[in-house]
Amino acid sequence: MATFGDIGLAAGINILSALVFLIAFAILRLQPFNDRVYFPKWYLKGLRESPTHSGAFVKKIVNLDWRSYIRFLNWVPDALKMPEPELIDHAGLDSAVYLRIYLLGLKIFVPMTLLAWAILVPVNWTNNTLEKSKVTNKLQYSDIDKLSISNVPFGSNRFWAHIVMAYAFTFWACYILRKEYATVTAMRLHFIASERRRPDQFTVLVKNVPLDPDESVSESVEHFFLVNHPDHYLTHQVVFNANKLAQLVKEKQKKQNWLDYYQIKYSRNQSKRLMTKTGFLGLCGEKVDAIDHHTAEIERLSKEIAEETKRVKNDPKSIMPAAFVSFKTRWAAAVCAQTQQSRNPTVWLTEWAPEPRDVYWDNLAIPYVSLSIRRLIVSVAFFFLTFFFMIPITIVQSLANIEDIEKTAPFLKPIIEVPFIKSFIQGFLPGIALKIFLIVLPTILMLMSKFEGFLSISSLERRSAMRYYIFNFVNVFLVSVIAGTALQQLKSFIHKSASTIPTTIGVAIPMKATFFITYIMVDGWAGVAGEILRLKPLIIFHLKNFFLVKTEKDREEAMDPGSIGFDTGEPQIQLYFLLGLVYAVVTPVLLPFILIFFALAYVVFRHQIINVYNQEYESAAAFWPDVHGRIISAMVFSQLILMGLMSTKGAARSTPFLITLPILTIYFHKFCKGRYEPAFIRYPLQEAMMKDTLERAREPNLNLKGYLHDAYIHPVFKYNEYDEDDLTHEKLEQETELVPTKRQSRRNTPVPSKISGGSSPSLPDVQENLQP
Amino acid sequence: MATFGDIGLAAGINILSALVFLIAFAILRLQPFNDRVYFPKWYLKGLRESPTHSGAFVKKIVNLDWRSYIRFLNWVPDALKMPEPELIDHAGLDSAVYLRIYLLGLKIFVPMTLLAWAILVPVNWTNNTLEKSKVTNKLQYSDIDKLSISNVPFGSNRFWAHIVMAYAFTFWACYILRKEYATVTAMRLHFIASERRRPDQFTVLVKNVPLDPDESVSESVEHFFLVNHPDHYLTHQVVFNANKLAQLVKEKQKKQNWLDYYQIKYSRNQSKRLMTKTGFLGLCGEKVDAIDHHTAEIERLSKEIAEETKRVKNDPKSIMPAAFVSFKTRWAAAVCAQTQQSRNPTVWLTEWAPEPRDVYWDNLAIPYVSLSIRRLIVSVAFFFLTFFFMIPITIVQSLANIEDIEKTAPFLKPIIEVPFIKSFIQGFLPGIALKIFLIVLPTILMLMSKFEGFLSISSLERRSAMRYYIFNFVNVFLVSVIAGTALQQLKSFIHKSASTIPTTIGVAIPMKATFFITYIMVDGWAGVAGEILRLKPLIIFHLKNFFLVKTEKDREEAMDPGSIGFDTGEPQIQLYFLLGLVYAVVTPVLLPFILIFFALAYVVFRHQIINVYNQEYESAAAFWPDVHGRIISAMVFSQLILMGLMSTKGAARSTPFLITLPILTIYFHKFCKGRYEPAFIRYPLQEAMMKDTLERAREPNLNLKGYLHDAYIHPVFKYNEYDEDDLTHEKLEQETELVPTKRQSRRNTPVPSKISGGSSPSLPDVQENLQP
């Protein structure tokens, strides 16, 4: 049982490590040679360039300006300074709304914490149940337990305070959730309405085009839409199966990297001829000149790519039964996306086309029947993953048993018997199996979502996030609360009655408060502080920079800005919502720790979003219904748990009062779903019509067909074209894709990089470069 | 414990009573004066007229043709003769598909019965578990139990036969269900495609029109749709709040009935002046001349109605914020019905307009927020109704205690002490309270659905059917299987584990087989046979005919053809599906009884649909997804129960095999939902476009606006207009509404009435009348 002292010690250690991370970050980020690690976003946007053209060589690597070190914590206000509309403009609505999840946490939990400390803590503290039971039962208890509900005597009338607070917390959370949902909906609608013209506004993705022996897919699509949307159909693009081509391109890139590596090596030491082996991983096979070999390989691949490109474009078999169909107006696209086209509901399926960069190309050709089978397989697989994942890990752990290894492979005995290696195997190997599993878990979940057949990266991430949350809930939360693996729990829950499950969990909840406080400090505080340091990208960037980088373009590619990572980040936040809601009534001591997490994470991720993360797609906050739904489910769970706990505390009379809470909460959820969710799924015709009318008035002679001509071409074809073009062209294209250069407000607001990267050295004024 | 003898006796009694009903029907239907009771459908369609114009007076009342009595069972082949396409044409798709539910029962259960009797009955019979336990435990058992799973010894390998059969039954049922879903979907689409022009094809119901201070609802609607559907909007009709008007009209009809009654009485005995009292129910108040009084009253009401009509049509407050918006093409209506119109998803809600006669007018003005609250209230109310309905009934029953009555009202003592009355109170009163509740239950459920805010009669009936099924499942099935009221069960289930609930029910299932066999015979056999006799409509018709009927029109109104009654009929069939699926593996003896029910009900309801029931609306089989879903849920339930039963029989190893079954079944349901359900919810654009194109080619100069002009006027306005028109006009209108007189096929097929009413006397050849 942890006392205040223990908790204080743990807090001290974690605060210290968090501080170390933060200070290391504050110093590292000021060094110019780390600039591309800590400010990649600005490079990607073309608002910052490598500090090569000014100053001495030393200055390029180390920052010698002592004044900047004084202001080393300036990044915090910098990160907070950028106003939200500008943030949306800078990093997209997804990022801005993602930050609002942390803010939502603060909005919900700050008043809850104050109220809980003002009312519940005194109510709990002024009892002596635990002291008494210490005397009678020799029960161990800690000071923290004295502040929790455990300290209230059996059947006490004081429990009414907890019930009233449960109501107050629920109403407050619902109020804030509703307000937030309304705000996000308004932001989304405004964002969509004020957006520039984008190809996906006019385009619908048509799947499961039925095959016709007399017509090609392209003809079939054209005829169908000319007949059924005669006044609106504009053009369409078929989808090629370019998976093989993409593989070739990837291979070529890899060879190019090696060539670069050898060329740099050669340029540094021209006396030695560099050799490589042609076999597996360059370890065996014939010895050849490295540079010549790779140049030849690249040439061969280029030829193959050209051939494959030709084949894909001409072979009717490489055309998939799907197409991007574009319409003359947004209204018509909205109509086509929302209606059923054909008598048979499994062909001619239409849905909104995702943004071009959001499309997940590999899944476009999955037929309908296969989709539902895939869904079944994935749900069964996920069930087994969640409840049975401990079995293979236990097997691996038992294999890591030293005696067994020595028996099966006696020749390893001398190595293993070295004391250091022995203790390493005994101490770390079992843990490593679990750790490796947890590291690859998001990848496994993402593979599941991909297999399930979602068509856009954003929906893939949303589905993975849901699964990750469920996995966390079962294997982190429940397993921590009740001892035993998830499988054992599942077994015991099946054999328990519906009314005893909340009781079982509810009773265990107050006892685990100290554990979760430590968890929050390790995972939440130190983990978030570690995120800002970006240790892994820092090392990889410098390795790449040293071995591979020849040109500015290479350096750009060596940057790994990363992205928000909705599929892992959001479930983590949700775990804190869950902890906060569950412990708000039971052990209010836990709340301040959660508050610190939310505040710290908000600042850190705001900084990262402004300076680091690259936006991979823009879904216009399509994930909000999921976020909202998960918080609601955490609330309902916490209410059921409280009910279970109360029933063991001799407050059974409270059950009717407490059962009303989840019913009201679920009703609230339904209300929100009906009121706000359609804004995230459908596109109102009124909106579409308004934008169409405006556009027609502004640009009556717009060549929309030309604009949409190659919007939905597989990126691999674009890559090929780029490859032949020069560098500048590519860069310009990227800029026009990402930066709304003609935006009026930009001219009046200060340069964004000055606001958020103010304390960093060598900031070229790129404003002029942007104006064409 | 019932033996074969007991069951045989019960079967004999029920078969006898069913035969009595059928013979009574066979004789009564041949009497011309019952013609309007047993063949009202033909009168409504105008294909049959009162047998007044030919023959002697006696012949009009009693059928003296002895030959027709010989063929008294001819109605059975007659009912089966009419081919399905003609049935659809005659009684609508709803009726035809409703009959297919009975057929579906036969299709599923005939092979199941054969297989179960061929395999499971021998497997069960050739054990002696029950005989042994009789010796050791003195357990009572019956011959029927020897045929059931109870007779297989604990842990026997013979249970594999049951598991294999469970799989076989599931696959067979799924196969048939899928085929049936496909057929019904095709029928629906074909029906919709081959339908004549109907107003609802062009019309969309717009709800929650936002109120505008500067515009009337009508203007607001017109502007909105002119802006957002500029090329397609045609016209619209606002919805009036005519509830008060409808009440006045109803009152007038009632007074008219009384006037008719007095006039007929007077005409029979002109010597006596008829008096009535003006007060409550004619029991108190001033005495006045009855005919004069009612004539004056009717005049007053006519005036009031005229005034109210005027007020409703001119007062802007009586216009509800809803409208029927019609478009130029079916395509545009399909688009508008399936898309979201406005940014705010709670205003400008669009959905397909129901058929004009299917509209439930009273609910058209319920605002969005109120709707979701109503839904919450109704679901809570339904929960209480299902689980707590026994409480008030028990209270009423305890009030009916003789001693209590005597105590509270001593003056009643002499009456109550009469032996006959005493035994009546003691024997019947407690049961009557329950019986009355069960009789009014469908009405209560319908009121709930109405309160919930559904907009069409068909959807009201569908929702009521769902609730009625759940109520039956809990209070008829579960309560019969496990003793105790639903409330007691709910309590015990909450405190039991998820895995013991199927066990509890599963163990009780085989023991209740004889009870359910008796239930099937009483409710299924005799009940269905009673349905064809139509005792209540028969009596009421003759009473009305004697007291009220003056003209042919009155006689027409005195007919009460009734309708299928989907809200009570379908849940009853579903109970038999449930019984059949649950007992198929456990006690196959029950299956033949269910087969007889399905066969008998099919014949009886086919006859009733052809000759009696009036079609109140046409939803084009929109109820099929519900029917399918309920059979699936019965299957899943039966599989879980079997699993519970097996686990107590020492066949726990079978659990993994049995748990796969519900998963596969649910997956099958999802597949069907995705594959077929859209045909019942959405309207494909391809279909709409095809019909539009055809129509444009056939009738290029169609005045659609004129056609749609008053399609969606509140029926009360129509009634007023009819009232002023003459009878013939009304009749003609009705005909054109119901009978597609110009249908080509009719000329080639024989007269329908000859097929189905062949054995009835005096059939006027109306074919000539139909040709204009």
Residue-by-residue DSSP string for A372-400: HHHHHHHHHHHHHHHHHTHHHHHHHHHHT
With an 8 Å Cβ cutoff, are B497 and A499 in contact?
no
pLDDT of residue B519: 86
- Residue A664 belongs to what H/E stretch? helix A655-676
- Is residue A91 within 8 A of residue A562, CB to CB? The reply is no
Report pLDDT for A464.
94
* Alpha-carbon distances of B293 from B270, B273, B284, rounded to whole Å: 17, 13, 15
- How many Å apart are CA A618 and CA A307, to the nearest integer? 34
pLDDT profile of chain A (772 residues), mean per 10:
70 84 82 77 71 53 66 75 87 91 95 92 80 62 74 83 92 95 90 78 87 85 88 86 81 80 76 68 68 83 85 79 88 87 83 85 77 88 86 70 69 74 68 78 91 89 94 86 71 73 82 85 84 81 76 71 84 93 91 93 90 84 94 94 86 79 91 87 82 83 79 74 45 40 36 37 36 37
pLDDT at residue number B428? 65
Of A208, A308, A321, A258, nearest to A716 (Cα)?
A308
Identify which of A124, A197, A291 has the alpha carbon closest to the alpha carbon of residue A691.
A197
**Residues of chain B with C-beta less than 8 angstroms from the C-beta of A497:** 494-498, 500
**Residues, chain A:** 772
In our burial notation (b when 16+ CB lie closer than 10 A, e otherwise), range B136-149 reads eeeeebbbbbbbbb
The predicted structure's pLDDT at residue B165 = 92
Q: Taking a C-beta distance cutoff of 8 angstroms, is the pair A108, A635 a contact?
A: no
Within 10 angstroms of residue A626's Cβ, the number of other Cβ atoms is: 18
Q: How far is B218 from chain A (nearest CA, A)?
A: 18
Chain A residues in contact with B367 by the CB 8 A cut-off are: none
Size of interface A-B (CB pairs under 8 A): 133
User: How far does CA B145 lie from the centroid of its chain?
Assistant: 36
Q: Which residue spans within B181-261 are E strands per DSSP?
A: 203-207, 233-240
Question: What residues have CB less than 8 Å from A562, skipping those under 6 apart?
Answer: A534, A537, A612, A613, A614
Chain B residues in contact with A372 (beta carbon < 8 A)? 667, 670-671, 674
Residue A36 sits at the vertex; the CA angle it makes with A32 and A38, to the nearest 5 degrees, is: 85
Q: What is the pLDDT of residue A760?
A: 37
For B345, the token pair is: 């998803």
Task: Please name which of B236, B200, B231, B203 lies closest in space to residue B217, comparing C-alpha atoms.
Answer: B236
Q: What is the mean pLDDT of chain A?
A: 79
Distance between CA A79 and CA B254 in Å, rounded?
78
Helix A243-268 vs helix A715-724: angle between axes, to the nearest 10 degrees? 40
Q: How far is CA B471 from CA B393, B478, B482, B624, B626, in A?
A: 16, 10, 15, 20, 16
Q: Which amino acid is at A730?
A: E
Q: Using CA atoms, how far apart are residues B179 and A146, in angstroms rounded to an integer?
A: 66
pLDDT of residue B219: 87
- Specify the pLDDT at position B573: 92
User: Exposure of B269 by Cβ count < 10 A (0-12 exposed, 13-18 middle, 19+ buried)?
Assistant: exposed
Verify whether the Cβ–Cβ distance A678 to B338 is below 8 Å: no
Q: What is the DSSP letter of B82?
A: S
Predicted confidence at residue B591, as pLDDT, reads 93
Name residue B429's beta-bridge partners: none
Instruction: Write out the DSSP string of B688-731.
Output: HHHHHHHHHHH-TT--HHHHHTTTT--HHHHHHHHHHS-HHHHH
Give the containing element (helix H, strand E) for A268: helix A243-268
* B345/A675 CB distance under 8 A: yes
**Separation CA B223–CA B350 (nearest Å):** 16
Out of A189, A343, A674, the one facing B684 most closely (by C-beta) is: A343
**In contact, A159 and A123? CB cutoff 8 Å:** no
Alpha-carbon Rg of chain B, whole angstroms? 30
CA nearest to A371 within chain B: B671
Instruction: Report pLDDT for A692.
Output: 83
In order, the DSSP letters of A64-89 are: --HHHHHTTTTHHHHHHHS-HHHHHH
Contacts of B500 (CB under 8 A, 6+ apart): A495, A497, B644
Q: Find the closest chain A residue to B678 by CA distance.
A: A345
- What is the model's pLDDT at position B160? 87
Percent of the residues in chain B that have a pLDDT greater than 70, as a whole number: 81
Indicate the pairing of strand B349-352 with strand B275-277: unpaired
Most A CBs within 10 A among B346, B671, B686, hence the mutation to make, goes to B686
Q: Give the other-Cβ count within 10 Å of B385's Cβ.
A: 17
Judge residue A581's burial from the number of C-beta atoms within 10 Å of its C-beta, 0-12 exposed, 13-18 middle, 19 or more buried: buried
pTM of the model: 0.79
Q: For residues A324 and A235, what is the distance between their CA atoms, to the nearest angstrom?
A: 9
Of B342, B670, B676, the CB nearest to A686: B342
Contact A689 B189 (CB under 8 A): no
Spans in chain B with pLDDT lower than 50: 1, 52-54, 724-772
The closest CB to that of B339, out of A334, A667, A670, belongs to: A334
How many CB atoms neighbour CB A144 within 10 A?
21
Cβ neighbours of B15 (radius 10 Å): 15
pLDDT of residue B744: 38
pLDDT of residue B471: 92
**Among candidates B670, B683, B689 on the partner chain, residue whose Cβ is nearest the Cβ of A228:** B689
Beta-carbon count within 10 A of B574 CB: 24
Single-letter amino acid, residue B54: S
CA A147 to mean position of chain CA atoms: 36
Of A688, A683, A511, A493, the C-alpha closest to A582 is A511
CA B189 to chain centre: 23
CA separation for the pair A113, A120 (Å, rounded): 10
Place of tokens 């390998």: B157
Give DSSP secondary structure letters for A586-629: H-GGGHHHHHHHHHHHHHHHHHHHHHTPPP----SSTTHHHHHH
Which pair of tokens denotes residue B128? 């002696």
Q: Is B744 exposed, middle or buried (0-12, 13-18, 19+ CB in 10 A)?
A: exposed
Count of positions (residues) in chain B: 772
- Please, which residues bridge with residue A324 across strands? A205, A237
Structure tokens at A709: 């001509």
| Min Cα separation B693/chain A (Å) | 10
Q: Which two tokens stand for residue B536?
A: 């209540």
Residue pair B456/B359 in contact (Cβ under 8 Å)? The answer is yes
Angstrom distance (rounded) from CA A555 to CA A551: 6
CA distance B417 to B306: 57
Answer whether A330's CB lies under 8 Å from A232's CB.
no
Record: contact B345-A678, CB cut-off 8 A: yes
